[in-house]
Amino acid sequence: MITLKNVRKTYENGADALKGINLEVADGEFIFIVGPSGSGKSTLTKILTGEVCPTDGEVVVNGFDMNRIRRSKLHKLRRTLGIIFQDFRLIENKTVYQNVEFVMRVLGAKPRKIKERVRYVLELVGLDHKMRCMPEELSGGEQQRVAIARALANNPKLIIADEPTGNIDPELSRELMALLVEINKKGTTVLVVTHEEELVNEFTNRVVVINSGRIVRDGTGGYYGNV
Amino acid sequence: MSFLTAFTMICCLIIMGTCALLTLNVQQIINVLEDENQMVAFVDEALSDEEARAMEKELLAIDNVSEVRFVTREEAMVNFLDRYDDNSLFEDVDSSVFRNRYLIYVEDIVFMEQTQNDLAGVYGVAKINALLKVAKGFVTLRNILGVVALSVFVVLFLISVILMTSTMKAAAHIRATEISIMRMVGATKSFIRWPFVLEGMLIGLFASLCAFLLQWGGYNLLAENISGALSFITVIPFESIIIPVLVAFCAVGVLEGMFGSVGAVKDRPRK
Ligand SMILES: Nc1ncnc2c1ncn2[C@@H]1O[C@H](COP(=O)(O)OP(=O)(O)OP(=O)(O)O)[C@@H](O)[C@H]1O
Ligand SMILES: [Mg+2]
């Protein structure tokens, strides 16, 4: 599913964001990527989504070799991914329903299938009763749940979430994380980036700790491996 | 913003159209003048009238010759005398002073010199009068006019395209979230692009239709004034070229819209 071998990333301004990352994520896994600010977490996710090119090393995501893939073929990789951002990125003038429907329409799904699927994913995140609301009428946690529903809409193999709880309060964050774990149990691989120690400690999943562009710990047992 | 763009495009299109129509009309005037710029091939006196008449086929066979007209020496004398009010001066003139001659009309005055040489080679042709300088003058005028019209056209076309690009970039900026989401879920580049291209083409079409109608009105107004004041100039009636002009306007407008909007949604380069 995800294979990283000796991956390095040096930005044009000379910033060494990643200094040799080796990581293997199997199908169906749930993994936290944690680490202090500026350690290279976002850079890592951007390499996985094809937004950023690795400077060196091997990267394979869902069977796509990120060193070889052409820009014109990037959309094929993206169709296998569900991406969730810290700032939700909902379309403000569309309802909750339309926001989810939109991404299915973009990929040309049939109207009947769209109707079914949108209802299903909104139910899954517990927002089917707010389908007709506009994003601004929702709380931060609810907005992020819409974003998760949207990421699920096209039935991705892998969900990549960069600080999905960065803009919501701790109580809701835990619920949201539980939701992602739930989704993972249905078979989707999930990779969550966060720097919230306490949140990570509540789960027993695999944790990869990055510091200054290097993996310093990889295992279970919370942020420090002592939970 | 798109209204302003349409407005500017209309202005550019009208200037382009005026340029093109002006060129077309001057072209037509030149054509008329060109047609009158015939050559005269004098026939050797040694040839009998029958022999002289027999040359016609040979002359017609020469490249670039569109029409020949035989003028007998008698006709030539009558024409000559007609030019003078006081015929008494030439009372004694006999038609034998004049030579039989051919008026030669060419298809394209650009090759007049070559044609003149070809004609000179025909048996029985004694001398050829051709106003080569005048012909060259017309050719130069035609070329200059073509170059000027083309440059104006190119410059205005580029201005319209650049303007359309900035408009479409602004439109894409407003919908940046939508576009980034489409990218994120794996929409193809052309899928993201085509609504903007379509919008650009529609704005272009709208602008060209407006410009066309304004041009139509303006042209006829001007044509009336010109044929009133300068009666020797015949202006091409707009209605006789309405379809090609309409097609040209639409094509230019739509192409401007298309080229302008294609560059509006750029792939973000991978860092
Ligand atoms: N586009 C960029 N151009 C240049 N340098 C960059 C760019 N993006 C990130 N960096 C640098 O790369 C390093 C890693 O940044 P990154 O965003 O991956 O960190 P992060 O772990 O996600 O931090 P945070 O927790 O604050 O989001 C930083 O030193 C940053 O300054
Ligand atoms: Mg980050």
Q: Are residues B23 and B44 in the same domain?
A: no
Strand partners of residue B1: none
pLDDT at residue A227 in the model: 65
Distance from CA of A207 to the nearest CA of B (A): 26
Comparing A115 with B224, which gets the higher pLDDT? A115
In the numeric block, the tokens 């004034």 are attached to B225
CA count, 13 A, side-chain hemisphere, B92: 0
Which strands make up the sheet holding A64-65, listed edge to edge? A16-25, A2-10, A56-61, A64-65
- Cα B30-B36-B40 angle, rounded to 5 deg: 135
pLDDT greater than 90 at residue A40 = yes
- B104 within a domain of the structure (yes/no): yes
Shared domain check, B42 and B92:
yes
Q: Does a structural domain hold residue B228?
A: yes
- CATH for the stretch A1-80+193-220: 3.40.50.300
Nearest CB among A50, A91, A154 relative to B177 is that of A91
The pLDDT, as a whole number, for residue B1 is: 64
End-to-end CA distance of chain B: 32
Indicate if B153 and B23 belong to the same structural domain.
yes
Do B97 and B154 lie in one domain? The reply is no
Residue nearest to atom 30 of ligand 1 (CA): A38
Is B234 inside any structural domain? yes
Task: Note whether B110 and B156 are same-domain residues.
Answer: no
Q: Please tell me whether residues B159 and B236 are part of one structural domain.
A: yes
Instruction: List the beta bridge partners of residue A161.
Output: A84, A192
pLDDT at B269: 64
Which of B219, B163, B170, B215 lies closest to B6, judged by CA?
Answer: B163
Pocket around ligand 1: residues whose beta carbon is below 6 Å from it?
A 11, 13, 15, 17, 35, 37-43, 195; B 271
Cβ of A107 within 8 Å of Cβ of B268? The answer is: no
Give this complex's ipTM.
0.85
Side by side, which strands form the sheet with B65-71?
B65-71, B101-106, B39-43, B125-129
Q: Which residues of B touch A53 (CB under 8 A)?
A: 270-271
With respect to residue B105, please indicate whether it lies within any of the assigned structural domains.
Answer: yes
Helices (H), chain A: 41-49, 74-78, 96-106, 111-124, 140-153, 170-185, 197-201
B189/A103 Cβ within 8 A: no
- B102 and B55 in contact (C-beta within 8 Å)? yes
User: Is the pLDDT assigned to residue A142 strictly greater than 80?
Assistant: yes
CA distance A6 to B147: 61
What is the number of structural domains in chain B?
2
Structure tokens at A137: 């009428």
Contact A78 B183 (CB under 8 A): yes
For residue B245, give its domain range: 2-33+136-265
Q: What CA–CA distance (Å, rounded) separates B101 from A47?
A: 88
In this structure, what DSSP letter does residue B109 have?
A: G
Token duo for residue A28? 């169906």
Q: How far does the CA of residue A173 sit from the closest CA of chain B (Å)?
A: 23
Instruction: Give the three-state DSSP class for B239.
Output: helix
For residue A85, give the amino acid letter: F
pLDDT tens, position by position, B57-77: 888 888 888 888 888 888 888
pLDDT at A150 over 90: yes
Least confident of A72-76, A170-174, A201-205: A170-174
Q: How many CB pairs under 8 A join A and B?
A: 55
Instruction: Look at residue A114 and tell me whether its pLDDT is greater than 90.
Output: yes
The amino acid at residue B84 is Y
- Strand A189-193 to strand A30-34: parallel, antiparallel, or no bridges (unpaired)? parallel
Q: Is the separation of the CB atoms in B128 and B103 below 8 Å? A: no
> Within this chain, do residues B26 and B112 fall inside the same structural domain, yes or no?
no
B246 shares a domain with B213: yes
Q: Exposed/middle/buried for B131, CB within 10 Å: 0-12, 13-18, 19+? A: middle
Q: Which residue type sits at A198?
A: E
Half-sphere exposure of residue A52: CA atoms within 13 angstroms, side-chain side: 20
| Cα A44 to ligand 2 centroid, rounded to whole Å | 9
Q: Please tell me whether residue B50 adopts helix, strand or coil conformation.
A: helix
Shortest Cα–Cα distance, B1 to chain A (Å): 21
pLDDT tens digits along A99-108? 999 999 999 8
Could you identify the atom of ligand 1 that is nearest to the CA of residue A213?
A: 14
Residue B224 domain flag: yes
B51 CA from centroid of ligand 1 (Å): 98
pLDDT given at position B73: 81
Phi first, then psi, for residue A30 (nearest 5°) are: -125, 120
Asked whether residue B270 is domain-assigned, the answer is no
B227-234 LR contacts (CB < 8 Å, sep 24+)? B233/B29, B234/B28, B234/B29, B234/B32
On whether any CB of chain A is under 8 Å from the CB of B174, the answer is no
Of B98, B130, B162, the last residue of a domain is: B130
User: CA B47, CA B136: separation in Å to the nearest integer?
Assistant: 33
Q: For residue B271, is it within any domain? A: no
Together in a domain, B82 and B203: no
- Count the Cβ atoms, other than its own, within 10 Å of residue B140: 10
A89 interface with B at CB cutoff 8 Å: yes
Residue whose CA lies nearest to ligand 1 atom number 18: A40
* First-last CA distance in chain A: 28
Same domain, B144 and B256: yes
Confidence of residue A153 (pLDDT cuts 50, 70, 90): very high
Asked if pLDDT for residue A54 goes beyond 80, the answer is yes
Q: Which chain B residue lies closest to A78 (C-alpha atoms)?
A: B186
Contact of B187 with chain A, judged by CB distance below 8 Å, is answered with yes
**B188–A12 C-beta distance less than 8 A:** no
Question: DSSP state, B234?
Answer: P
Any domain includes B215: yes
| Contact between chains at B271 and A72 (C-beta distance less than 8 A) | no
B271 with A91: Cβ contact below 8 A = no
Is there a single domain that holds both residue B124 and residue B145? no
Q: What is the CATH number of the domain that holds B88?
A: 3.30.70.3040
What amino acid occupies position A207?
V
- The answer to whether B176 contacts chain A (CB < 8 Å) is no
Specify whether B27 is located in the same domain as B51.
no
Listed as ranges, residues in chain B with pLDDT below 70 are 1, 85-91, 268-270
Q: Give nearest CA residue, ligand 1 atom 26.
A: A37
Average pLDDT, chain A: 92
B53 touches chain A (CB under 8 A): no
Confidence (pLDDT) at B208: 95
Q: Assess contact for B1 and B170: CB atoms under 8 A.
A: yes
